[in-house]
Amino acid sequence: MNQHLLQEFQAIVGERGVISSPEELHTYECDGLTNFRVMPLAVLLPADTPQVQAIVKICHRERMPFVARGSGTGLSGGALPVENGIVISLTRMNHILEVDFPNARVIVEPGVINLEVTGRVQPQDYFYAPDPSSQSVCSIGGNVAENSGGAHCLKYGFTTTHVLGLEVVLPDGSLVHLGGKCLDTPGYDLAGVFVGSEGTLGIATKVVLRIVKRPECIRTLLAAFPSTNEAGAAVSDIIAAGMLPAAIEMMDNLAIQAAEAAVHANYPNCGGLLLVELDGPVAEVESLMQDVAELCQKNGAWDLRIAQTDSERALVWKGRKAAFAAMGRISPNYIVQDGVIPRTALPQVMSEIARLSQETGLRVANVFHAGDGNLHPLVLYDRHIAGQEQAAEALSYRILELCLEAGGSITGEHGVGEEKKRMMSKMFSEPDLDTMQRVRCAFDPLQLSNPTKVFPTPRLCGEKPGEYVAHPLESAGIAERF
């Protein structure tokens, strides 16, 4: 980066707010998806909103692309730097600005860690519902960008359900407020559009969150099935019986083995493990848990355990939450995917994954949010065996195609980012993608904010929508324009 520009940035964020030495920049060349790497020109660490605005205004003036970054735990390359661009790291903006219990709202800066929000409101028995597995390290700003989910979104919804308002620095450096502390701010729901836009519409500098009162009780059932098919059938029966559990998670045998090896969660060794969590008033939960247990038994569950206390629950969840990291115990490398299928397609998709696994000789472990059909197939491979990484990538994309063929989605919570943008045109038609990009042009006509992500081919915003073409009537002389 040229010295003059560097000095300009230093004048905004101070010398310690600029990282530009190659050694230090290495930390920022990728996010949680490590197989894509790009070196940024510099990393800037603003401390407040005016600093973010000042940085972005320079980027706008210089036509220099920028990528906002939180904790860098994303799994789709959303925070991957772009060529000849800078990274704006929001980690210094980590203050909880307001906690309002009567209205159940919390206002935070984007660098606040997800779990810190719950930590702050826990004494009053509230919690912040979205709970991605990385919640102890991931930031709210990153959650907003990716519309993060988690195990409990079956009942509680996603980040977008819990974000009511945003302060946003637009890609020209101007500041806007979308939504607010009150519901239904007049106008377009631009907060709804911004959440999950993967950093392509600007940078959120304040976030208004909704917090939720803790339920009276939580019970977690662990059920062992011969295979994921029986476990899947039990899930369908639970849903068909009109219940809405807080979470339903499933793991296959390979995932169980990995979790056991890593954290000794004391899971039964079985073909399909189901974890069902119910929460709410005691009387309600206890009667429904009875029903859940019966439905599991009816579908062939041979070991049922109910965790009652917080410590028992924590142990049950430990293996599930550690599942991705646990793969390191059974395989040198792995690729995790994030496809979604309609729940009913589970047996068919699982058997197809098993077939593909056999065909390619690559092991696939399956961990998923079974209640909402969000699969996390983990394709295991060894980078040092020639060709295996490519084969694993191909298999993981093939699994996403299976999800699409079943009527699902390529991503349930990890985002498209860099990794899956080429899959977008398999899920959406050209006009679908073009319409989304027109919205992007309204926010970022110069395409400076994380410009290379999400969409397979960028749209030039100079292209006028509805370009003039002579109408047949006009050509025929029936009508004229003036």
Rounded CA separation 361/311 (Å): 39
**Binding residues with other proteins: total (CB under 8 A):** 109
Number of C-beta neighbours around residue 325 at 10 A: 13
Task: State the minimum distance, in angstroms, from the CB of residue 260 to other proteins.
Answer: 27
Task: State the minimum distance, in angstroms, from the CB of residue 1 to other proteins.
Answer: 24
Q: Which is nearer to other proteins, 241 or 385 (CB)?
A: 241
471 touches other proteins by CB under 8 A: yes
Q: Can you give 227-260 as a three-state secondary structure string?
A: CHHHHHHHHHHHHHCCCCCCEEEEEEHHHHHHHH
**Which one of 215, 268, 347, 456 is in contact with other proteins (CB under 8 A)?**
215
Q: Which is nearer to other proteins, 355 or 471 (CB)?
A: 471
Task: State the minimum distance, in angstroms, from the CB of residue 52 to other proteins.
Answer: 14
Rounded CA separation 398/411 (Å): 14
> DSSP characters for 404-455?
HHTT-BS-SSS--TTTTHHHHHHHS-HHHHHHHHHHHHHH-TT--BSTTSS-
206 touches other proteins by CB under 8 A: no
Q: Which is nearer to other proteins, 344 or 348 (CB)?
A: 344
Footprint on residues 374-393 left by other proteins (CB under 8 A):
374
x/- track of binding to other proteins for residues 114-153 (CB under 8 A)? --------------------------------xx-x---x
Footprint on residues 295-334 left by other proteins (CB under 8 A):
none
Footprint on residues 437-466 left by other proteins (CB under 8 A):
438-443, 445, 454, 461-462, 464-466
Task: State the minimum distance, in angstroms, from the CB of residue 80 to other proteins.
Answer: 17
Footprint on residues 153-172 left by other proteins (CB under 8 A):
153-154, 157-158, 160-161, 170, 172
Q: Which is nearer to other proteins, 357 or 366 (CB)?
A: 366
**Which one of 11, 39, 97, 244 is in contact with other proteins (CB under 8 A)?**
244
CA nearest to 399, candidates 344, 453, 335, 456: 335
405 touches other proteins by CB under 8 A: no
**Which one of 31, 131, 413, 419 is in contact with other proteins (CB under 8 A)?**
413
Helix or strand holding residue 380 (H, E): strand 374-381
Task: State the minimum distance, in angstroms, from the CB of residue 158 to other proteins.
Answer: 7
E-strand stretches of 170-323: 175-179, 203-210, 212-213, 217-225, 247-252, 272-280, 303-307
Task: State the minimum distance, in angstroms, from the CB of residue 423 to other proteins.
Answer: 8
Residue 409 · residue 401 · CB < 8 Å: no
Residue 308 · residue 242 · CB < 8 Å: no
Q: Which is nearer to other proteins, 212 or 394 (CB)?
A: 212
> What are the CB-based long-range contacts (under 8 Å, 24+) for 477-481?
none
Footprint on residues 258-287 left by other proteins (CB under 8 A):
280-284, 287
Rounded CA separation 100/111 (Å): 19
x/- track of binding to other proteins for residues 60-89 (CB under 8 A)? x-----------------------------
Footprint on residues 98-117 left by other proteins (CB under 8 A):
100-105
Rounded CA separation 333/396 (Å): 13
For 455, phi then psi, to 5°, come to -100, 140
Rounded CA separation 145/194 (Å): 7
Rounded CA separation 292/349 (Å): 24
Q: Which is nearer to other proteins, 391 or 461 (CB)?
A: 461
**Which one of 3, 240, 384, 477 is in contact with other proteins (CB under 8 A)?**
240
**Which one of 5, 239, 391, 394 is in contact with other proteins (CB under 8 A)?**
239
477 touches other proteins by CB under 8 A: no
Helices (H), 26-156: 49-62, 114-121, 140-146, 153-156
3-state secondary structure of 20: coil
407 touches other proteins by CB under 8 A: yes
Rounded CA separation 245/278 (Å): 5
Footprint on residues 339-368 left by other proteins (CB under 8 A):
340-344
**Which residue type does 284 have?**
E
x/- track of binding to other proteins for residues 6-45 (CB under 8 A)? ----------------------------------------
Q: Which is nearer to other proteins, 321 or 453 (CB)?
A: 453
Rounded CA separation 197/443 (Å): 11
The contacts of residue 22 (CB under 8 Å, 6+ apart) are 39
Task: State the minimum distance, in angstroms, from the CB of residue 177 to other proteins.
Answer: 6
293 touches other proteins by CB under 8 A: no
175 touches other proteins by CB under 8 A: yes
Residue 381 · residue 37 · CB < 8 Å: no
478 touches other proteins by CB under 8 A: yes
Footprint on residues 185-204 left by other proteins (CB under 8 A):
185-190, 192-193, 195-197
180 touches other proteins by CB under 8 A: yes
CA nearest to 132, candidates 280, 417, 352, 338: 338
